[in-house]
Structure 1
């Protein structure tokens, strides 16, 4: 960990001491947004009972947060170029913290939903540009290690959310789940304002038409996916998908001719970026499928309780926390595409083995397979993120960060929705896990396709560094 904060002559990024404060601000903001996602889920029955609403309406406490967050990821990534990443991140922390206070004080579902939507906006502002700020803060030679740290924080937040929520609900009411964010948000706000690097604003306007089309595209998609998972009539799902597809068509046309596009299409000309994005999206479809399908498998087929199921999931994020930072460090020295491909191979094997579990399988049978999946995903994600962020010009890193966050969110939500569709057909839950393995296989194909390109890029970088060192000695 100490090597993340050492400095060398010629390093870009922030000096070591300032880097520590900036990283702490990023960690606190990310943790608040990620922990909230999983922590609030277990409080939905308590919220429904306290506010005297049906469970079907209480689900929107989670849904509205996710839709609001996902719909604005691209928007805030583009705005950060116009206003600066530091201002957008600070505003995101501030909005999230104030909305948490409002949610804690809410006495009706309507007011709670309003503040949950605002929390989603704050989370979008933080998550959309977090990876690009890591690229600002750290020197290029440590980018993989930095993104490994980011993977550790995200995995740790997802893993800790249910446990934190369960402990708090055992001693206090649900509003305290939101109040927990207040001290963390205050500290993150001060640190972000003080430590995040300042940068010049971009000259020019903002693509408001593209922003509206982007929001319509993503909202339509997430409402359709939510409808699939909750038994919405097929015509309504089709209508929302139609809205999403129409907005997507108009959005892409707008991006080709806008003077300051929300999502510059030239970033996709780099094949390593495009392939890494495909690998990420399909891998998160596989993980989203697996997480929901395994909950049904463990409880309905194998007879485990919800609490036991939560413990059975622990090896997956725990392995990501342990492997992710090490994979990030390796990606700074070895071929990142090769590391990502190896990780996807392990994830594919783990999912296939989980799909073969029978109702009589033991806890040990489950745990080592979950551990294998976590090791695979931990080995895949930081090197893949390094490819996503390292293959675009620095001036496009905010856009790349927004696209990366959107791809991850869309992939995971699509995976969750597919589980609902498969359950409606009456197919065995193991079939859903095989579908998750299929999407992981697609990710592996995209990752393997860029291995030669990444190897060639590394060789060129080493040769350039050797030439510069020779010139300096002369």
Structure 2
């Protein structure tokens, strides 16, 4: 598909391209959500403990985290369509492997490979959006991505429950195969080509990146899971030492794998910090709320799922509005307003009382979702537009890395808070989440003092 770097794709080619991107992104997000719901069933069928079965989720998340930036860098070199299509192919084949797995180690191994495929999709999907839409409509394209993620997150548990009601758990992965094949065919026909560059790929940096981010996750999770302090400190020391060498190496690169060149742009760095803090706040809420609803308020598992749904559904409505507004107004202002609304929503949830009704919870959750939706699309647009066009892959990879870093930190903080204060843990998590959301709002508003750089 021919590409005009300034005008993107013409319609209707633009619509077909965004449908392909949305389809791949839906597969990656859904697969994370449906695996969580199926864990007890999988553990029983493969004769694994509940604790061991967590690797079905962790293996997927870990492989995504360590490979996002290397694959984004590869996209800058060989083209985003190649990385995206390759990710789709790996994801589809690995989905078949998951469906055929007969033991937990086989399933975990297939999930690792599936995570690498998902990273191929996630690492360059926003970079592809930048090549599809003209600059004046970039916010709308980014908003579609945010809306797709929200919808997939909202319907994921329902999809998993529906499949498990009529079939065994391997079908949760098998249904990806025909959809993945259709998406691959669509990618070859609809996605645009972008020129890469001939610089040699930095394999040493890719290995150091995997070590630093992988070990960082284990270090953050360590205290929450009762690891001895000396092991946590040794892991932290290894992260610092290797991370120092890694960053020094990146400073010498013209197009570094870790985009330190982009982090030197103040508005890009502030957007990354805003993203990390906001996704940390989101994860503090998402992980702790089921415990609050079921253990404290006495709602059932089904009722809990329904009560959480207003958050992602509010994003579905807020994201398109925020995307359109971000083409006209500052991301610093829109993000600041949205994150203030999120802060208010989390405070309202933390102070809802001991005997709330479903409506009392639902509208508070909708406030949180509306605030998060108002922040997300403008923030993502700002990160993309602050980077030079030839570094769109690095910006896209950093966008995903910031999200995963915030989510990992949030989940680790939940486990730590639950360990310290098991009785009041859920409410305390919401209060800490509100503090992170408020910090994110402050960082977002700092962008109003920076020049709104529009990269070529």
TM-score past 0.5 threshold = yes
**Which residue of the other structure, out of 378, 381, 397, is the alignment partner of 1:386?**
381
- Superposition pairs of residues 70-469 of structure 1, within 5 angstroms: 70-258=65-253, 260-426=255-421, 428-429=424-425, 430-453=427-450
User: Could you tell me how far apart the structure 2 residues matched to 1:172 and 1:134 are?
Assistant: 36
Residues 236-283 of structure 1 deviation map (CA, whole Å, 9 limit, x = unaligned): 333333333332222111101235421232212221111111111100
Aligned 8 A contact 1:60 1:113 in 2: yes
Divergent runs of 4+, >4 A: none
SS at match of 2:280: helix
SS at match of 1:155: helix
Segments of 5+ residues of structure 1 without an aligned counterpart are 1-8, 462-474
Pairwise CA distance, 1:223? 2.1
Q: Check 1:326–1:16 CA distance in 2 against 1; reply closer, same or farther (3 A cut).
A: same
TM-score, length-normalised on structure 1?
0.92
User: Could you tell me how far apart the structure 2 residues matched to 1:163 and 1:178 are?
Assistant: 15
Q: Does structure 1 residue 24 correspond to structure 2 residue 19?
A: yes
Aligned 8 A contact 2:272 2:399 in 1: yes
User: Could you tell me how far apart the structure 1 residues matched to 2:151 and 2:236 are?
Assistant: 33
Residues 163-189 of structure 1 deviation map (CA, whole Å, 9 limit, x = unaligned): 100111111100000011111101110
Aligned 8 A contact 2:259 2:395 in 1: no
Q: Check 1:30–1:175 CA distance in 2 against 1; reply closer, same or farther (3 A cut).
A: same
Q: Check 1:431–1:127 CA distance in 2 against 1; reply closer, same or farther (3 A cut).
A: same
Residues 382-439 of structure 1 deviation map (CA, whole Å, 9 limit, x = unaligned): 0111111111110111101111100100101110110000111126121221111111
Q: State the partner residue of 1:470.
A: none
Aligned 8 A contact 1:206 1:260 in 2: no
Pairwise CA distance, 1:358? 2.2
User: Could you tell me how far apart the structure 2 residues matched to 1:247 and 1:379 are?
Assistant: 37
| Alignment size in residue pairs | 450
Residues 121-141 of structure 1 deviation map (CA, whole Å, 9 limit, x = unaligned): 000011011111100111111
Pairwise CA distance, 1:364? 1.4
Aligned 8 A contact 2:76 2:392 in 1: no
Q: Check 1:202–1:10 CA distance in 2 against 1; reply closer, same or farther (3 A cut).
A: closer
User: Could you tell me how far apart the structure 1 residues matched to 2:453 and 2:39 are?
Assistant: 49
Q: Check 1:304–1:72 CA distance in 2 against 1; reply closer, same or farther (3 A cut).
A: same
Aligned 8 A contact 1:104 1:176 in 2: yes
Aligned 8 A contact 1:219 1:244 in 2: no
Aligned 8 A contact 2:346 2:430 in 1: yes
Alignment RMSD: 1.7
User: Could you tell me how far apart the structure 1 residues matched to 2:159 and 2:222 are?
Assistant: 29
Aligned 8 A contact 1:207 1:258 in 2: no
Aligned 8 A contact 1:316 1:370 in 2: yes
User: Could you tell me how far apart the structure 1 residues matched to 2:446 and 2:214 are?
Assistant: 32
User: Could you tell me how far apart the structure 1 residues matched to 2:125 and 2:8 are?
Assistant: 15
User: Could you tell me how far apart the structure 2 residues matched to 1:327 and 1:261 are?
Assistant: 31
User: Could you tell me how far apart the structure 2 residues matched to 1:257 and 1:166 are?
Assistant: 50
Aligned 8 A contact 1:207 1:260 in 2: no
Aligned 8 A contact 2:272 2:402 in 1: yes
Q: Check 1:79–1:245 CA distance in 2 against 1; reply closer, same or farther (3 A cut).
A: same
Pairwise CA distance, 1:225? 3.4
Aligned 8 A contact 1:276 1:387 in 2: yes
